[in-house]
Structure 1
Amino acid sequence: MTAALFFAPDAYVLDGNQIMGRRVAGAVFLRAVVEGRGDDPVVGYSIGQQNMDSFRQAVRSIDPAAPTEWIRTGRHDLLAERGTLHRADPAICAEARLRLRTGSASFSLTGVTHTLSTSGTLDLIASYLSEPVMPWDALICTSAVAVDVVRATFDEAAAYLRWRFGGDLRLTLPQLPVIPLGVHGADWAVSDAARQAARQRLVIAEDEVAVLFSGRLSYAAKAHPFQMFEALRAAADRSDRPVRLLLAGQFFNKGIGEDFLSTARTYCPNVRCQHVDGEDAGLYAAAYAGADIFLSLADNIQETFGITPVEAMAAGLPVVVSDWNGYRDTVRDGIDGFRIPSRAPAPGAGDNVAHGYEILGNYDVYSSRTSTTVSVDMAVLVERLVTLIGDPELRRRMGAAGRQRVATEFDWRVIYPRYRELWEELGRIRTHQSAQAETAAWLASAPHAHHAHDDPFRRFASYPTRFLSTDTVLGAAPGAGRAAYEALTGRPIFAPWRIAPDLAERIIAAAGKGPASIADIARQVGLAPEAAIEPIARLVKMNLLLPEED
């Protein structure tokens, strides 16, 4: 059985939103869910008609015949039937709090890592230890390094909590499975005819070797470009064939774009640099189809996986990447391409960097400050580029190996079943552990709701003079009835809290038969006594019901 998807257009829909890695990941994941649904419907979960309509439209755009179901926020009984709620980000804590109302063992929660380097995300990950996140929940990590970061954050958060509250703490942690991001491999396959057409569109000469970098074009995020420019200049000096650099992606603004391209011309003047606008999907695809080599020297702590080398491998390109973060999980050195050794300051050297980020709160400055201290081995990089530029057979062989690796390891047809297997495994863990006597007793002692969302009439019980309870006796006010109720709720002053007029009429009539308790009135109109207090209290506010003096 597939999970329900916590749906927000920002996480899954590209149209009308800035193209970012997490949105692209969400969009291709949704496609994997739709195409891999089997006999199951595609199930969305969120609040509001607009989100529901957007969800159904997004699913229909992938497969008009795909059946959908929608679970309204708070219907945890329906989530329990589904078994799992999945988010496209790590933010499962709010749902874990809300789950308290139906029991923390009622269903599982899964989220997925993207950027882990912002203070907000690290705070969120650390809060797993103090929130009702359970062992039958999971934070899906896209790479081995993502697991390292999450575990280190858990360890530091646990040490902090023990320092604050003592050592005897029961800390429950989620599962941390590694499931990589994926691609729809067939979308990236390039025929000889498509390659020729792409090179013609980009005006790449037959003897030119086109080196592609794709992604966010920025000095502060993804990959600082200086060593890429320098290495291409050195490699071009040693090569017999002209070299073209394709910079495929988007600049934050026009000024940054102009400076970026000017910098490229300054540091690799012997390489023809060409911007390929990432907003133009056809042109962006042509860059992959027409290139000969893919190059990405990621150096930022923001990245946990890095999908662009996998896309390049799917397109049959040999890849040259920094030996950094998730690239280590995807690119096999000497087989699919080359990983270039990287260097960064040793642990303990960054306290001033962390302090500066804590004071200023400027993530772009923090990202730039760290990435500009990370370097790759230039001698190795230049040698690898010279080798690939001069050896078309090696490029072909590595490209074929990468394409095969994507088909067996990183295609969504392979990866999405791993999600479904995880959801089933979490169900087994939940069933087994919640049946253990000690765990069952511990779960039974949990609060009904998180303290931030407790009953306001309990939290602020010292405010009123008297209470309206199920024992409170009321009568109907003179002139009270359906017409008076509809007149009041027909205006904005009470319209948001309008109940069905016939129900209001029956409540007023029950009270009008003679003073009766709220419990008695509730029974007469078919409401649970506790649930009747709020609408009856509002009828008192409207001066349609009158409580007897205590």
Structure 2
Amino acid sequence: MPPPPSPPSAALLYAPDGYDTSRPRLMGRHAAGEGFLIGLVRHAGFERMVALTRGEADAEAFRRHVATLGAAAPAEAIPDNELQRLAGIGCLMLPGPGLGEHAWRRRRIGPATAWSLVGVTHTIASAGAMDSILDSLVAPVQPWDAIVCTSEPVRGAVRRLLEMQGGYLARRLGATRIEGPALPVIPLGVDCAALAPDPRARAEWRARLELREQDVAVLHHGRLSFHAKAHPLPMFLALGRAAAKAPPGARVVLILSGWFADETQRRAFHEQAKAVAPHLEICLVERPETGTTLRNAADIFTLLSDNVQESFGLAPVEALAAGLPVVGTDWDGLKDTIRHGETGYRVPTTLGGPMPDLAERHDAGFDSYDSFIAGVAQFTAVDVPAAEAAFAALIADPVMRRAMGAAARRDALARFDWPVVIGQWRALWAELARLRREARAERAAPLRGEARVPHRPDPSILFAHYPTRRLAPETRLMLPPGEDAAAVLVRLRAYAGLPGAAPRRDLLPSMDSIQAALEVLEQGPATAARLSAELQPLRAWRMNRSLAWLLKLDLLRLADG
């Protein structure tokens, strides 16, 4: 009998936007998010699926989403204002690399050893993504927190970013220790079973696209964007030349599959192909359905990425799982995923420079993010002769295509299938839990009496120089002369009914708590501490600060002047 499932060791920060692949402008992070949720549902072995959600609408969306994925375990949503419940789970998984906001929130409510925070990289090229990564150097991020990098090249870029900012902070502040989060490498996963080669789907798609059995179909699938994904000129040049040298009877067809952002992109692809590869046959399959089986029509997959927007490249991994050899660039995550000469070919790339002006213009707001990444891509070269040679070798040798495709499928099963990838996540959760258990103390733990979140301090402390005095626990209060508790209560109810008398009525104590305090004052002046002494801590907080509101309405007076 199999062992019982383990209790959850991680909860997911869930907002529907991060996991929706039905949207018209589908991005890699959406596909990665939903894929990860599918992997968790099917392979994590949780007794219950837990998400941290903001609002009941998101909670219901989470429960509905995991139900549609066939979750056997019940779904539970923790409201965002009950963050302390994460202590019973051990880890909060975030949909991006930013740990800072959640590290500060954790610090507000309890010990940092209560749970770990784990983010994950998607694109790291945007100013917002860079800032969220760098925030981990000043936020109370701990050694048992992590930013998961989806490839070694991404980890190298994240580490370089942290080291550069860390060096500045050390010189600026005289710091002797600059610590960031752990940076483990875990790739994105795919459902290899769903992507298995399907002869029936191959026959249907090739008939639909009018491809003969001897034709060689090369698939490019994803966003069709020259500025934000992969400039198509190197692909058109290399494939057009390789197609012209194809063996007799081997017609080469490029299947362009995906979605154009706008008409500018559509026109650019069309005109570039016509100008540099006029004899290359191109079949456009625009906006294929989610979960398309179109890969089965292809004999080769290609993505000649040249863009810093890219960080992993999920489509090439899906192609490997579908048993296709991949011609990709030696760039970002493709360095990790394509085994050169075994599962495909990696085409060399050359990055130009320097480009500090591009970073400066984007940072200052003169250039949009799209303009920034387009500029970097413009100065990134793809080795067209090497790409031509890779295409030509595969076009000419069907035996090699089949052998590489079989190796690609085996490699995907061994490295990128969701059970394998979720196993790496489970190992990470266990390691972070060990670090929490063995931790002697939180790094830079707050001192007694110190603001737990110094950049968002208690306003009654920050603005202590504004008033004449502060209402302190030892402040003595009394009823107005000539009034008893009942008379004050009558006035209180009358004032409370006036529009705007209590703009944040939700922050006030109950009327019963106020009445009890007034009855204490019938015996004579008393300190603020005495008036809340019988209340639970949270209710005492409410009473202590609300005494100032009662003073504002002249329902109480200061006993000492």
Provide TM-score, normalisation by structure 2.
0.89
Which sections of structure 2, spanning at least 5 residues, go unmatched? 1-7
One of 132, 139, 161 as aligned partner of 2:140:
132
The residue correspondences of 1:90-129 to structure 2 (distance < 5 A) are 90-101=97-108, 102-129=110-137
User: Matched residues in 2 for 1:17 and 1:106: separation?
Assistant: 40
| Count of residues paired in the alignment | 540
Deviations 1:27-50 (A, max 9, x none): 111111111232421111133222
2:4 is matched with: none
User: Matched residues in 2 for 1:444 and 1:505: separation?
Assistant: 36
Give the residue type in structure 2 aligned to 1:237: A
User: Matched residues in 2 for 1:487 and 1:40: separation?
Assistant: 52
The residue correspondences of 1:247-326 to structure 2 (distance < 5 A) are 247-278=256-287, 280-281=289-290, 285-326=292-333
User: Matched residues in 1 for 2:24 and 2:17: separation?
Assistant: 7
Say whether 1:381 aligns with 2:381: no
Deviations 1:65-90 (A, max 9, x none): 43122223353432222111111210
Deviations 1:410-469 (A, max 9, x none): 01111011111101101111222x22xxx4695353854222221111111122233333
Instruction: Mark the CA change 1:286 to 1:424 in structure 2 (over 3 Å): closer, same or farther.
Output: closer
2:362 is matched with: 357
One of 112, 137, 148 as aligned partner of 2:156:
148
User: Matched residues in 1 for 2:299 and 2:512: separation?
Assistant: 76
Instruction: Mark the CA change 1:325 to 1:471 in structure 2 (over 3 Å): closer, same or farther.
Output: same
Q: Answer whether contact 1:84 1:423 (CA < 8 A) is retained.
A: yes
Instruction: Mark the CA change 1:292 to 1:480 in structure 2 (over 3 Å): closer, same or farther.
Output: farther
Say whether 1:534 aligns with 2:534: no
The residue correspondences of 1:133-532 to structure 2 (distance < 5 A) are 133-166=141-174, 168-239=175-246, 240=248, 241-278=250-287, 280-281=289-290, 285-345=292-352, 349-359=354-364, 360-432=366-438, 434-435=439-440, 439=441, 442-443=444-445, 445=447, 447-472=450-475, 473-475=477-479, 479-481=487-489, 485=493, 488=496, 494=502, 496-498=504-506, 503-512=510-519, 514=522, 516-524=526-534, 526=536, 529-532=540-543
Q: CA deviation at 1:542?
A: 5.6
User: Matched residues in 2 for 1:489 and 1:313: separation?
Assistant: 69
Q: Answer whether contact 1:216 1:249 (CA < 8 A) is retained.
A: yes
Instruction: Mark the CA change 1:256 to 1:489 in structure 2 (over 3 Å): closer, same or farther.
Output: farther
> Does the residue aligned with 1:276 lie in a helix, a strand or coil?
strand
> Does the residue aligned with 1:105 lie in a helix, a strand or coil?
helix
Q: CA deviation at 1:480?
A: 4.9
Q: Answer whether contact 1:477 1:544 (CA < 8 A) is retained.
A: no
Give the residue type in structure 2 aligned to 1:135: P
Deviations 1:394-425 (A, max 9, x none): 21211111111111100111101111110110
> Does the residue aligned with 1:303 lie in a helix, a strand or coil?
coil
User: Matched residues in 1 for 2:497 and 2:122: separation?
Assistant: 47
Q: Answer whether contact 2:222 2:315 (CA < 8 A) is retained.
A: yes
Give the residue type in structure 1 aligned to 2:424: R
Instruction: Mark the CA change 1:242 to 1:69 in structure 2 (over 3 Å): closer, same or farther.
Output: same
User: Matched residues in 1 for 2:346 and 2:113: separation?
Assistant: 44
Q: CA deviation at 1:19?
A: 0.8
**Structure 1 stretch 208-217 or stretch 120-129: which is displaced more?**
120-129
Give the residue type in structure 2 aligned to 1:362: S
Q: Answer whether contact 2:18 2:33 (CA < 8 A) is retained.
A: yes
Q: CA deviation at 1:349?
A: 2.7
Instruction: Mark the CA change 1:19 to 1:441 in structure 2 (over 3 Å): closer, same or farther.
Output: closer
User: Matched residues in 2 for 1:73 and 1:191: separation?
Assistant: 44
User: Matched residues in 1 for 2:395 and 2:293: separation?
Assistant: 20
Q: CA deviation at 1:24?
A: 0.9
Q: Answer whether contact 1:245 1:274 (CA < 8 A) is retained.
A: yes
Instruction: Mark the CA change 1:63 to 1:538 in structure 2 (over 3 Å): closer, same or farther.
Output: farther
Q: CA deviation at 1:295?
A: 0.8
Give the residue type in structure 1 aligned to 2:126: T
Instruction: Mark the CA change 1:484 to 1:530 in structure 2 (over 3 Å): closer, same or farther.
Output: closer
> Does the residue aligned with 1:14 lie in a helix, a strand or coil?
coil
Deviations 1:81-103 (A, max 9, x none): 21111112101111111222212
**Structure 1 stretch 363-372 or stretch 198-207: which is displaced more?**
198-207
> Does the residue aligned with 2:202 lie in a helix, a strand or coil?
helix
Instruction: Mark the CA change 1:64 to 1:351 in structure 2 (over 3 Å): closer, same or farther.
Output: closer
One of 32, 55, 69 as aligned partner of 1:48:
55
Q: CA deviation at 1:218?
A: 1.0
Q: Answer whether contact 1:162 1:169 (CA < 8 A) is retained.
A: yes
Q: CA deviation at 1:265?
A: 2.7
Q: Answer whether contact 2:241 2:388 (CA < 8 A) is retained.
A: yes
Instruction: Mark the CA change 1:545 to 1:227 in structure 2 (over 3 Å): closer, same or farther.
Output: same
Q: Answer whether contact 2:507 2:542 (CA < 8 A) is retained.
A: no
RMSD: 2.7
Deviations 1:217-266 (A, max 9, x none): 11111211101011121111111322221111111113422332232233
Give the residue type in structure 1 aligned to 2:78: I
**Structure 1 stretch 538-547 or stretch 254-263: which is displaced more?**
538-547
Which sections of structure 1, spanning at least 5 residues, go unmatched? none
Give the residue type in structure 2 aligned to 1:156: M
Q: Answer whether contact 1:45 1:71 (CA < 8 A) is retained.
A: yes
> Does the residue aligned with 2:545 lie in a helix, a strand or coil?
helix
Provide TM-score, normalisation by structure 1.
0.90
> Does the residue aligned with 1:443 lie in a helix, a strand or coil?
coil
Q: CA deviation at 1:478?
A: 6.5
User: Matched residues in 2 for 1:392 and 1:152: separation?
Assistant: 43
Q: Answer whether contact 2:338 2:346 (CA < 8 A) is retained.
A: yes
Instruction: Mark the CA change 1:541 to 1:184 in structure 2 (over 3 Å): closer, same or farther.
Output: farther
Q: Answer whether contact 2:99 2:135 (CA < 8 A) is retained.
A: no
Q: CA deviation at 1:512?
A: 4.1
User: Matched residues in 1 for 2:511 and 2:129: separation?
Assistant: 47
> Does the residue aligned with 1:250 lie in a helix, a strand or coil?
strand
User: Matched residues in 2 for 1:15 and 1:377: separation?
Assistant: 35
Instruction: Mark the CA change 1:72 to 1:538 in structure 2 (over 3 Å): closer, same or farther.
Output: farther
User: Matched residues in 1 for 2:222 and 2:541: separation?
Assistant: 56
